[in-house]
Amino acid sequence: MSLPGVRLRDISIKVENNDTSSIGNISALMVEIATLLEKFIATGATAQIDLKSLPLGQHEYVMLRDTLGSGEVSARLDAIGLSEINETKYPGVWWATHHNIEGDIVADLIEITNCPAILASQPQDMKKGLQNLQAAIPSDINY
């Protein structure tokens, strides 16, 4: 149904201004990341930035993604929801996004480290895994 004499293409559409992506938060964040990376290289002190605690606009979030880019390592965890852990194009700077089972982001972190701790196998899990592995070995094999 359309109004008499009005065609869809006659209705002017104004695209919202996307300039909100450059209101200054990204520059401050990049300086903080650079400072933390410099400290990590010098002292070995790891650091994390909780992106959920920062007042980033949607444009700025995308802008930060583009600015940090992708590096050589990309990992996915399936642990009570998906987690995506990627090294950025700046070695030592990682972006870890943790989702719940429904796909909502429950934690979103920039990590300054040589490898995020959550990627490592946990001793408790390894013990349980060893039991399972031993149980899977046929009983007539003596190892």
Partner 1 sequence: MKEHETLEERLTQQGISRRSFLKFCTAMASLMALPPSTATAIAAALSQAKRPSVIWLSFQECTGCTESLTRSHSPTLESLIFDMISLDYHHTLQAASGFAAEKSRDDAMRDYYGKYLLIVDGSIPTKDNGIYSTIAGRTNLDMLHEAAKGAAAIVAVGTCSSFGGLPMAHPNPTGAVPVSALIKDKPIINISGCPPIPAVITGVLAQYLTFGSLPDLDELGRPKSFYGETIHDRCYRRPFYDQGKFAKTFDDEGARNGWCLYELGCKGPTTHNACATTKWNGGTSFPIESGHGCLGCSEPNFWDGGSFYTPLAAPTADISTIAATAAVIGAGAAIALSVTDRNRKKNAQQAHEKLTVKDLT
- Give me the residues that bind partner 1 (CB under 8 A), please: 14, 16-17, 19-20, 23-25, 46-50, 52-58, 60, 77, 79-81, 83, 98, 100-102, 104-109, 111, 117-118, 121-125
CB-nearer residue toward partner 1: 23 or 41:
23
CB of residue 79 to partner 1, shortest distance in Å: 4
CB of residue 28 to partner 1, shortest distance in Å: 11
CB-nearer residue toward partner 1: 93 or 143:
93
What's the rounded Cα separation, in Å, for the pair 34 and 105?
Answer: 25
* Number of CB atoms found within 10 A of residue 26's CB: 20
Q: Is 64 exposed, middle or buried (0-12, 13-18, 19+ CB in 10 A)?
A: buried
What's the rounded Cα separation, in Å, for the pair 23 and 29?
Answer: 12
Q: Which residue, chain included where needed, has tokens 């190892």?
A: 143
CB of residue 50 to partner 1, shortest distance in Å: 5
